[in-house]
Amino acid sequence: MQRSSVDWVDHAIWWHVYPLGFCGAPIRDVTSRETTHRLPHLTSWLPYAVDLGCSGLLLGPVFESTSHGYDTTDYLRLDPRLGDDADLDALIAAAKEKGLRIVLDGVFNHVGREHPAFQRVLEQGPSAPEADWFHLTWPQEWAPGVEPEYATFEGHGGLVALDHSSPVVEQLVVDVMLHWLRRGIDGWRLDAAYAVPPEFWARVLPRVREEFPSAWFLGEVIHGDYVDIVRRSTIDSLTQYELWKAIWSSLLDTNFHELAWSLTRHGEFVEHFVPQTFVGNHDTTRIATKVGDEGLAVLAVTILLTVAGIPSVYYGDEHAFAGEKTEGWSGDDQVRPVFPDSPNDLALGGWMYEIHQRLIGVRRRHPWLVDAITETAEVSNERLVYRSRARHGDGSITVELETTTRSAVVRGEDGAELFAYRA
């Protein structure tokens, strides 16, 4: 398999932001659809992302939707809770001025039940022009007001699955991707890519790459045969949930053997594609909460930034935010918080911000880490030592981690400390 040829992403370090939460938009019981210009709040934080050391924004949903953003009702319009298209254009322009890339979240597996296309289907029945967008089962004799059975995303009635065998759906996704790439974004996160047949992406992405060969496509894949999915779909990168799980689980259970095994498997993936790596995102419990200790959270971030991958920092993790992902309608609230007016209002966690800056600095000074080969030198339940070395040419670092002392040390080839944390 030939690895992605998008070279700019080799230097990417993402600041991952869920805009609706970050900007304080209402998620439930949305009583007004009037345009409220909240997105400039995110734009004002771009200097912070630069100071952190990130090179781009990996954004959650921004398009018009009913509630949490993953129930899209218009792919070509900014959600009015965030503002209007001029606000999004201003964010993209300001990011470019600061050298930051922008990746948008494309929810192309399903739409919200309130999407006009699905509403026309409910109103007009099998003869609706958009009836072939969806997986529908109609009663033998349809009458107005009678709903068809329809495929959903993971049983959620408000999320109507698209029919990815439909040429119309294929064209819709191509058109949406091209529209925003022409407006200046750099790539797409493909939400719930695991629920979409890989062959759909293999038809869509080459069409988009004809005009934008340097666009980057990240697929959300939680489990499965990562290499086979990349091969069949032509997606550039996948979310590395296996490594995420191994990092927090090893630290929580004091079992570095699990992480050592997963780093070997991670290295096998890197031979075929470069995964997108993380220790937190909008769907997971905060890393500091997950491992139950801020010192152990430092070890997690150290691992993230010293092994192969395209890393992202989920907003707030750089300040050791706490938050638990739970089930239920409000289960995401703790991990999708509003950010204050300015960095000066982040009263706590400045020490963790500095930790992130230092580790990102190490990463930037060793750009070969993006596809590094990582080899375990020493492993026990409480201690792990590994060496990451350049796949091509010279360069290596050694990482020493201990859970009992909550310590993390990164050394250069000469043994000098490049980074050290001791609780």
287-343 pLDDT tens trace: 999 999 999 999 999 999 999 999 999 999 999 999 999 987 788 999 999 999 999
Rounded Cα distance, 282 and 52, in Å? 19
Quick one: which of 332, 401, 370 has its CA closest to 14?
Answer: 370
Q: What is the pLDDT along the chain (423 residues), one digit of tens a residue?
A: 567 889 999 999 999 999 999 999 999 888 778 999 999 999 999 999 999 999 999 999 999 999 999 999 999 999 999 999 999 999 999 999 999 999 999 999 999 999 999 999 999 999 999 999 999 999 888 888 889 999 999 999 999 999 999 999 999 999 999 999 999 999 999 999 999 999 999 999 999 999 999 999 999 999 999 999 999 999 999 999 999 999 999 999 999 999 999 999 999 999 999 999 999 999 999 999 999 999 999 999 999 999 999 999 999 999 999 999 998 778 899 999 999 999 989 877 799 999 999 999 999 999 999 999 999 999 999 999 999 999 999 999 999 999 999 999 999 999 999 999 998
Taking a C-beta distance cutoff of 8 angstroms, is the pair 147, 123 a contact? no
Q: Element (H or E) spanning 419, and its range?
A: strand 417-422
Residue with tokens 């050298």: 99
Taking a C-beta distance cutoff of 8 angstroms, is the pair 242, 262 a contact? yes
Structure-token pair, residue 302: 């150290």
Structure-token pair, residue 303: 């691992």
Say what the pTM is: 0.97
Residue with tokens 């963790």: 352
Quick one: which of 258, 366, 257 has its CA closest to 311?
Answer: 366
Quick one: which of 9, 75, 37, 81 has its CA closest to 274?
Answer: 9
| Backbone angles phi and psi of 318, in degrees to 5 | -70, -5
Angle at 230 between CA 393 and CA 364, to 5 degrees: 35
Angle at 352 between CA 349 and CA 356, to 5 degrees: 140
DSSP, residue by residue, 147-170: PPEE-EETTEEEEEEB-TT-HHHH
| Beta bridge pairs of residue 409 | 400, 420
Rounded Cα distance, 186 and 199, in Å? 23
